[in-house]
A and B are shown apart, each in its own frame.
Chain A
Amino acid sequence: MSGAKTSTRPRLASARLGMPRPPQLPALKARLQRGRELSGEVLRNPLTLAGCLVIAAFLLMAALAPILTTPNTPDAYQMPRDWQAIDAPPGSPGHLLGTTSTGGDVLYGIIWGARKSLQLSVMVVGIAVLIGVIVGSLAGFVGGRLDEILMRTVDVFLAIPELIFALAIAAALGTSFTNIILALAVVFWVKYARIIRGQIIHVKQNEYVEAARAIGDSRLRIYLKDVLPNSITPVTVQATLDMGSVVLIGATLSFIGLAESGLTEWGVLVATGQSDVIAGKWWVSTFAGLAIFLWALAFNLVGDGLRDVFDPKSQRR
C-alpha cells in the first residue's frame, strides 16, 4: 500500500537537477560542526582548559556521590555522625580529610556538598536567566512605555547591594536551603534583564531584521528566529560566571546560618569548623573553603574564556 503511494509522489527536484538527495538535518550537522570549532577555540586557552577540568571533576564527584560514600540515612544531605572519631585529623583511617567536632566526615560533606552547590547554581541561574530573558526581551523588543516601567523596576533591584539584598530576603523567608535559592534568584535576574535588553535593542536594528519583515515574517517569529539567537551569547557568558558567584554568595548565606544546620553544604561546613580553627583543628573550614574557592575560580576561568572567544574585543593584552 505504501509502495503505491510512493510512486504517486511528485518527482524530486534534486533528481531533476542531477543532485544527490539532501541529507537529513543538514542544519543540525552544520551546527554541530560549528560547536566543535568553537569548543576547540575555547579550550586552546590553558586557563580555560584547567577551569573545565576542575568543573568536570566536581560534576563527576557529584554524580558518583552514592558510590564514593555510603549515603547517610534517612537523609543523605545530612552529615553522618561517627561518635568514635570526633575531631579526627586528616589521614585518619576511614576519614581521609578528618572529621568535625560532632564526628561528621569532611570528605562526605564535600562530596555531597558538590551536589548541593550544583543544585544551587543551576536552579538560581536557571530561574534568573528565564525571568531575565523574558523581562529584558519585553523591554527591548516591545519598547516604549513598557520598557520604561520594566527598566525602572530593574533599577530599583540594582540599587541594593547583592549580598545584603539576598540576605534580607532569605532571612525574611526563614531558615532553609530552598529559601536561599529563591532569594538568590530574586537578586540575580536583573543582570540578565539588562544584558538581554541592551543586546536586543542593538540586534533589532540590524538589516536582517528588516529583511525578515520584508519576507512577511510576524513579529513573534522575527523575535524567535532572528533577534533572540543573536542576542543570547553575552547571557551565556554571564551565566557561566554566575554559576561560580552564586555558590560563593550562597555559601556566605549558609555560613551566616540561613541554611539548615548539619546540611552537607560547603558554607555550613566552613561555619561548623570555624570555631575550632583557633584550637588548631584547621581541616574542616580549610577543605570546605577550598572547595568553594575552586568552584568559583573554575567557573570564572571558563566564563572569561568564553567571553574572549565570543567577544574578541574585550581580550586582554
Chain B
Amino acid sequence: MNAQPVAAVDDLRVHFHTSRGVVRAVDGVSFQVNESEVLGLVGETGCGKSVTARSLLRLLPSPPAEYVGGRILFSTPGRGVVDLLTLSDEEIRGIRGDRIAMIFQDPSKALNPAMPVGRQVGEVFLQHRADHLLERAGVGLEELDPVSRGLLSRAAGERSRAPERPLLRLPRLRGRWRRIRAALDESVAQALADTRIPTPLKIMRSYPHELSGGMKQRVMIAQALACDPDLLIADEPTTALDVTIQARILDLIRELQQRRRTAVLYITHDLSLVRRLCDRVTVMYAGRIAERAGTGDVFGRPLHPYTRGLLGAMPARAGRDGRLVAIRGSVSEVLNGDPGCRFAPRCPHAGAVCRRRDPALVAHGEPGHEAACFLHEHLDDVAPGERPSPEPVR
C-alpha cells in the first residue's frame, strides 16, 4: 500500500468573523487523501466538514471567512506540490474544475436555471480545455494568420471580447468556428454518456427544470469529471435525492472513481453510505478531528465516544429493542477558546480532565487508527476520580 497523497491538509484553521465574535469553524484539522482512494469526512451539521471541503477550492467568501493557519498541499503531475492557500486567484481558478472538482448537495440548486445543461457542462471545457477543443476540431491554427489564430483560440476559451464576436462569422473563420462548437458539443455528449445518461444529445439541450433530480446529479457528475480531475470533492451528493436514486448515483461515483483512479473526498453525515463507498474515514466534531481509521476499524472498533454515538444512531445498528440511540444535545458553536475536549459536554464518559484539557489525536490499536480521546490514554498525571469513566454515565 504505497499510495501517493494527492492532497494533504495540514493543521488547517478557518475562522469566521461574525457579529457575535470569531467562530473557529475549522480548528487544526489534518488529513490526506491518497490517489484512487475514497476518504469519508463524517460529522453532523455544523462540525466544519463542508468548510474544510470548500477550503480545498478556496470557495469560502472572505470576509467573513479567514484562513488563519495551516497549509493545503496539492500535488499535480508535472507541476509539483503547491500550497492551495497561497496561490493567486488566477492560479486557483486554473485548478478549480480542472484538477479539483466538486459535486454539490442539491443538483437542482447547483445548475443555472436559465441555461441548457449542455452549455454548463461545456463551460468546463471552454475554461480548461481550449487547446484540446481546437485540436479536436482539426482547425489547423498554424495555417492561419496570427490575427485569426488569436480570434479562434480566444473564442475557444470563452475569452472573446464582445466586439470581436461578429468577426467569427467571416467566411474565413466561420467554418472553423462551427467545427470548434461541434467539437465542444461532442465533448459534452461524451462526458454525459460517461455518466450513463441514455440520450445525451437530448439531455444537453434541456433546461434543469426539465430533468429529474437523479438526471441533474448525473449532469453535475459529468461536469465535475469532464477534465478528469485528480481530486473529486463530493459534498453529500445524494442527500437531496430519492432513496431509490441514491444507490445508483453512489455506484456511478464508485465506478467512475475506480476507472479513473480519482481520489475522492466524500462528505456525509450518513454512516451507511460511508461503509458502502469509503476506504478510510475521518470523523470530525466541532472543527476538530475526533477519530480516523480504515472503514472496517471504524465500524468494528470505534474508539471515540462520538463515533460510537453516530454508529448508535444508525438504523441498521439499532439495539435489540429496535430503538435508536441519539447523542444528547447538538454541536455547540465554538466561539471562545474552551480549554477542554469539545465533545465533553455531550459525552457520557467525560471526566473532570476532559473539561480541562484537550486530547490530542493519538494512534491506538490498528495501524492508522487514531482517536482524540482520554478514554484510551494512560493518564498517569491525573487523579483516578478525574479520569473519564469506561462505562457510560447518564
Stretch at the interface among A22-30, A90-98, A123-131, A260-268: A22-30
Residue pair B138, A216 in contact (C-beta under 8 Å): no
A-B residue pairs in contact (CB < 8 Å), sample of 18: A5-B138, A13-B186, A13-B189, A17-B200, A19-B189, A19-B201, A22-B186, A26-B185, A207-B105, A210-B104, A211-B102, A214-B96, A214-B101, A215-B223, A216-B127, A217-B123, A226-B112, A229-B115
Residue pair A211, B127 in contact (C-beta under 8 Å): no
Residue of B nearest to A26 (CB): B205
Residue pair B205, A30 in contact (C-beta under 8 Å): yes
Q: Which residue of B124, B135, B186 has the most chain A CB atoms within 10 A of its CB atom?
A: B186
B208, chain A: closest CB distance, angstroms: 9
Residue pair A22, B59 in contact (C-beta under 8 Å): no
Alpha-carbon gap, A251 to B24, bound state (A): 61
Alpha-carbon gap, A13 to B135, bound state (A): 14
Residue pair B96, A208 in contact (C-beta under 8 Å): no
A18, chain B: closest CB distance, angstroms: 10
Residue of B nearest to A22 (CB): B185
Partner-A contacts on B (CB < 8 A): 57, 59, 93-98, 101-102, 104-106, 109-116, 118-119, 123-124, 127-128, 135-138, 140, 158, 178-179, 182, 185-187, 189-190, 193, 200-201, 204-207, 220, 223
Contact residues in A for B116 (Cβ distance below 8 Å): 26-27, 30
- Determine which of B106, B135, B190 lies in contact with A207 in the assembled complex, contact meaning CB atoms within 8 Å: B106
Contact residues in B for A245 (Cβ distance below 8 Å): none
Alpha-carbon gap, A12 to B204, bound state (A): 17
Q: Which residue of A30, A213, A216 has the most chain B CB atoms within 10 A of its CB atom?
A: A216
Residue pair A221, B138 in contact (C-beta under 8 Å): no
B84, chain A: closest CB distance, angstroms: 13
A312 at the interface (CB under 8 A from B): no
B332, chain A: closest CB distance, angstroms: 26
B92, chain A: closest CB distance, angstroms: 8
A1-56 at interface with B (beta carbon < 8 Å): 5, 8-10, 12-14, 17, 19-22, 24, 26-27, 29-30, 34
A-B contact count (CB 8 A): 113
Q: If the complex has contacts A10-B136, A218-B93, are A229 and B205 also in contact, measured as CB distance less than 8 A?
A: no
Residue of A nearest to B205 (CB): A26
A152 at the interface (CB under 8 A from B): no
Contact residues in B for A226 (Cβ distance below 8 Å): 112, 115
B185, chain A: closest CB distance, angstroms: 4
Contact residues in A for B101 (Cβ distance below 8 Å): 214-215
Alpha-carbon gap, A225 to B104, bound state (A): 19
A73, chain B: closest CB distance, angstroms: 39
Contact residues in B for A217 (Cβ distance below 8 Å): 93, 123, 127
B129, chain A: closest CB distance, angstroms: 11
Contact residues in A for B193 (Cβ distance below 8 Å): 17
Alpha-carbon gap, A12 to B179, bound state (A): 11
Alpha-carbon gap, A214 to B112, bound state (A): 13
Other than A5-B140, A24-B178, A216-B127, give 13 A-B pairs with Cβ distance below 8 A. Answer: A13-B190, A17-B190, A21-B182, A22-B182, A30-B116, A34-B207, A214-B96, A215-B127, A216-B94, A216-B97, A217-B123, A218-B93, A229-B114
Alpha-carbon gap, A208 to B111, bound state (A): 5
A275 at the interface (CB under 8 A from B): no
- Determine which of A17, A20, A24, A27 lies in contact with B119 in the assembled complex, contact meaning CB atoms within 8 Å: A27
Residue pair B59, A213 in contact (C-beta under 8 Å): yes
Residue of B nearest to A226 (CB): B112
Alpha-carbon gap, A8 to B179, bound state (A): 13
- Determine which of A8, A10, A230 lies in contact with B112 in the assembled complex, contact meaning CB atoms within 8 Å: A230
Contact residues in B for A216 (Cβ distance below 8 Å): 93-98, 124, 127-128
A154 at the interface (CB under 8 A from B): no
Alpha-carbon gap, A26 to B201, bound state (A): 9
